[in-house]
Amino acid sequence: MKIINIRAVQPDAPGSPPDWRTWLGQILVRIDTDDGLTGYGVGGGGRAGIHVVETALRHLLTGQDATDVEGLWQQMYRDTLPYGQKGLALMAMSGVDLALWDLRGKRAGKPLAEVLGGQVGKRMPCYKTGWSPAEIETGRSEGFRAVKLQVGKLSAEQAIAQVGRVRDLIGPDVRIMTDAFLGWDLDTALRAAAGFASYDVGWLEEPLPLDDLPGYERLAKESPVPIAGGEHEYTAAAFEMWMQRGLHHVVQPDVCWCGGLTELVKIYRMAETYHVQVCPHRGCEVWSLHAIAALNAEPLAESGRPWMTWVQGQPEIEQGEIQLGHAPGFGVTFDEQLWDSK
């Protein structure tokens, strides 16, 4: 199964946020092979990511055997080392890797959850991410049994009060997590964690900048609530360093950014060794959902990016649960008109 073409586009996504998540946002990668199969994957990087895919990665992979997914990942990583290792190059690589995995599933005639040793058809619990108590309360009314509140723009005291209001609104039986989106320093994070403990908070996510490794090391030891993070980190090697140093209790790789499913599978295997929980970022999206179905003993999937309506066949969340179907690969399709200008 030889690769004959690699293309990428950034589909229009009305409602996507007016920031880097759109300017450098989700790209759709398509890989065609000489036996008539087509694989699709979603990466990141916007037009910059498309340029990486259609120059360096296309040049490297055209004519190669698409079944050697892990070997092709190593080739892409080595070839992009001078300008890659993290960031935009890894975002672009993620889309290519996911498209290769989609081909692997289609060639086997199985959903990728089954390729990974799991099953489809079971209902998995989800959690809804929201920015306000009102949005979180809506999540409860929609059937979610777990919710996550963004608190990074608040002080520690404001965040504690906000979490208290949410707990009063949704009651004791719905799980609450919090996300500070890299916005605090160590002192603020420690004060907030101390206050969160009385409200049975499941985790405090990304409270510090990614490069504050000593801060995370201390926080993970002293916080009364678990520390989570990783959606903005890249490669399994980086996650292994986090696990070795005990920086997080829960890791949250984004499969569309961190290097694709090849890296996510490695992260799951490492997590077993280090006794760390894996809960992928935006896990309800099919790109992570197959891994969650196959590799999580206690699955929990985060609500997806609502502006990605161009992914056809994405399973819907119903009463706080989601279920994969039996279509091969990732099980999603795309409008052929996306490629008319390519």
> What are the Cα distances from residue 89, in Å, to 48, 52, 82, 92, 141?
9, 7, 10, 5, 40
The 3-state secondary structure of 303-333 reads CCCCCCCCCECCCCCECCEEECCCCCECCCE
Number of CB atoms found within 10 A of residue 4's CB: 13
CA distance 102 to 277: 26
**Side-chain half-sphere of 84: how many Cα atoms within 13 Å?**
27
Residue 51 falls in the annotated catalytic set: no
Active-site annotation holder among 51, 59, 232, 281: 281
C-alpha 196: how far from chain center: 25
- Give the burial string for 90-127 (b: 16+ CB within 10 Å, else e): bbbbbbbbbbbbbbbbbbeebbbbbbbebebeeebbbb
CA distance 1 to 32: 10
Instruction: List residues with catalytic annotation.
Output: 281
